[in-house]
Structure 1
């Protein structure tokens, strides 16, 4: 954490990039904690091995938040909807590093499957719509082959704004889903601080009744097995403290510093001279007729 804080003191990264960096750090810390305490596999490599998604989320989230998330229902919660922990009971993550994709089109199910084979998670291309990070999920037992028919996705969107932003994750941001595996969308509202007094976690779900009306007429809300939101779980997390994320530990103040964009002239050596500071603020990167020539 100290290394990251020192590296960012110069304001090298923009605010959005800082949010993504913190999100990747939190996810990586949670991954490593889960790897050290996961009894479900016997792989010799401690950190480069499959980890059950539920176990990872338990190490990622604070206990009270995890208790809400584990019982979450999908976006369209029909009568037979599984809770999140049951839906992802056979879902596994496996990554040891992050790979930045080279184009918007690379955020796809095919790419997710290939990176899962390589043990890599995805950092989306710059300004990817609706998504910043992605972790491919293998669904099934660990003896089954990794292929696109068994690949699910945990997709993450990061917000580093003081005010929370309304987000509607798209379960098919990676393209039309080629299978029936569950999908998890996580929105990390990292920027909200002490002025935020809302819940630490929100579950985006709508209960839908499937009772058929009298006369055996077809209900407009009848269960559609092709509705992807029946297996799409969407959660929103607020803040960046140990109250939301177990993996923050005692580093909440450091994370807050990492997320905060420094003032433009915070390292300006002549900031004690008002005239010079005012002149610096008036500097323009654009050439125009008025400033084109030197004046005496």
Structure 2
């Protein structure tokens, strides 16, 4: 950068700019105020340019030239560094750096009753995003409809707290002539399309850069607030010295917190569920995505907002429930069971919901040892799995070897000694891009795990995994790939994520041989009834949870099957009880209810057999008893329970046989 002209007279007998800037020079004090202002202004411009090109956190108050000039006036040593063009030391100056508080010291304090501080600060921030422009476009589209009545031009703006509804309208008013007052009556029934698209994920700078941030840096307030609704980051960005976040707890606050953690949907066909969903949008931070034309319910959800997930974990840990709840049952388990029993949750795949619940409980067991636990901090993979299955079962996993590498390679414990996870919530993937190491490291930077798209081949969920304590990037991550099933399988089908294209090519030998974990949860609903045949009876599995299970390997067709570069460590957990899951305690029967698929018979209020038989005679579905009206000829085939499924236990992969 060229030297800066301070407009100070260089003629003989006058003092140079360098001497005037010398803090030990007594003549410095006799500078005219205009000269000092000119010097500070010029240097302030230089400092502002430097700050705008800086990647590390800096005080957002320095986002304009005037603020930079004021800092220079207050810090003489900073002024001297700028004069000397020592820009490396300038950027290290303590007056320019923001010290981010860690979540372990963060509290969730009560603010003034109406949250006025956060609101005032948000209005001071520069407006970001294009929501105001979209709002104006929606207004023009409505008014250009020639079939509408002259005064039939209203539409509501519906969205959760903190998304900037009022600020958006105010910004829109700068684009068109506006008289701000309300004309719409409460009983208005116009069919105008509702507006839900408001600012989200619109932080004004790039938040994450590959191979720059480390996992431990994720667990800072200054990082987490940058995701989601703008009211999170505007108060912190403008006044970082105050703790400004709280969770407004009311009767349904814990249910809102559970939905943030587990990503469940409500049953749209139930009026009570639709009303509950509306209340959660109105008062508990749930986001409204859209409102269908029929207006019977909202399409809403809990998108990825890491700060909200951190708060949700703390709310559930505090256990703000009435005293009737058994204290040994985690609030998260009770909430899911209670809401599902009321028919308010969308049924979906119950095995996926239970899998997310078990994995979340294991995660929380690793961080809830103190009252102010920080849910967003990294967790050792080995510690997480031990919290999931218990110490005895974990020994089986520690000794496991890869089942697709000759000789098995390293043991599980050796391969994943330094591995870490970090997820506070689940996010829904809708295409194949999420099944990649690119999406894996990005999810780690956002403290989330992936719920795969409906019908995804081979896997239902996956937890991103950082293999080594290095900066987040595609070549240092892997995953725990989860398949959850209600029934026990006669033969396990191997999960091969290399066929999904998860691993990016390149990165060197270490990156090209990254290990991964497959986790099959056979949650143990009794197998279906199948007819006996004349073939030999099936032999029950002799595997137990006391020793590793030598699983059969699929035959590899060498002509068409590529070489396995990435070692696969396969874990199977059969059953759903405290003997295989450490996180299940006295609430084991709750999981049985969660996994059961309620049908017309299960939900029939009269439980005596004669009433159930009467329902079955109407044939809501067909069973052996549905053929009572047929006279059959010949021997009657006998039916029995298929016992080929493996017994309850934890199974881990072993090295493949030499001849496979």
Place the TM-score, normalised by the shorter chain, in its bin: 0.7 to 0.9
1:147-296 equivalences in 2 (<5 Å)? 147-178=473-504, 179=511, 180-192=513-525, 198-200=543-545, 202=549, 204=551, 227-229=564-566, 231-268=567-604, 272=611, 278-279=617-618, 281=620
Structure 1: runs of 5+ lacking an equivalent: 39-43, 207-219, 283-296
Given candidates 128, 131, 138, the residue that maps to 2:466 is 138
**Larger deviation, residues 258-267 vs 196-205:** 196-205
Encode CA deviations 1:149-182: one digit per residue, 9 max, x unaligned. Answer: 1111111111111555522111325415232322
Please, which runs of 5 or more residues in structure 2 have no aligned partner?
Answer: 1-332, 505-510, 529-539, 622-660
Instruction: Report matched runs for 1:69-80 at 5 Å.
Output: 69-79=397-407
Instruction: Report the equivalent of 1:107.
Output: 435
Q: Flag the structure with higher strand content.
A: 1
Aligned counterparts of 2:570 and 2:448: Cα–Cα separation in 1: 23
> Residue by residue, what CA displacement relative to the aligned partner does 1:57-113 show, whole Å, maximum 9, x if unpaired?
111113322111111011135458211011001111001100011224432221122
Shift in CA distance, 167/269, structure 1 to aligned 2, threshold 3 Å: same
Distance 1:262 1:177 in 2: 40
Indicate if the aligned counterparts of 1:62 and 1:242 stay in contact, CA closer than 8 A. no
Q: Decide whether the 8 Å contact of 1:192 with 1:238 is kept in 2.
A: no
| Alpha-carbon separation, structure 2, partners of 1:194 and 1:53 | 32
Query: What's the CA shift for 1:235?
Result: 1.4
Pick aligned residue for 2:423 from 95, 98, 101: 95
Higher relative contact order (CA 8 A, sep 6+): 1
Q: CA deviation at 1:250?
A: 2.2
Aligned 8 A contact 1:11 1:262 in 2? no
1:278–1:150: structure 2 CA closer, same or farther, 3 Å change rule? same
What RMSD, in angstroms, separates the aligned Cα atoms of the two structures?
Answer: 3.2
C-alpha displacement of 1:56: 0.6
What is the total number of aligned residue pairs between the two structures?
A: 256
Q: Residue by residue, what CA displacement relative to the aligned partner does 1:118-162 show, whole Å, maximum 9, x if unpaired?
A: 110000000100000101111222xx2100011111111111115
Contact persistence 1:95–1:120 (CA under 8 A): yes
| Structure 1 residues 268 and 36: alpha-carbon distance in aligned structure 2, compared to 1, 3 A threshold | closer
CA distance in 2 between counterparts of 1:66 and 1:275 reads 49
The answer to whether the Cα contact below 8 Å between 1:97 and 1:119 also exists between their aligned partners in 2 is yes
Q: Which residue number in structure 2 is paired with residue 27 of structure 1?
A: 359
Shift, 1:202, TM fit: 3.7
Structure number with larger C-alpha Rg: 2
Shift of 1:27: 0.4
How far does residue 237 in structure 1 lie from its aligned partner after superposition? Answer: 1.2
CA distance in 2 between counterparts of 1:164 and 1:37 reads 40
Worse-superposed segment, 5-14 or 241-250: 5-14
**Does structure 1 retain, via aligned residues, the 8 Å contact 2:437–2:475?**
no
| Higher alpha-carbon deviation: 131-140 or 265-274 | 265-274
User: Counterparts of 1:165 and 1:11 in 2: how far apart (Å)?
Assistant: 35
Mapped contact 2:488–2:524 kept (Cα < 8 A) = yes
Deviation at 1:35, TM superposition (A): 2.2
8 Å CA contact 2:601, 2:615 repeated in 1: no
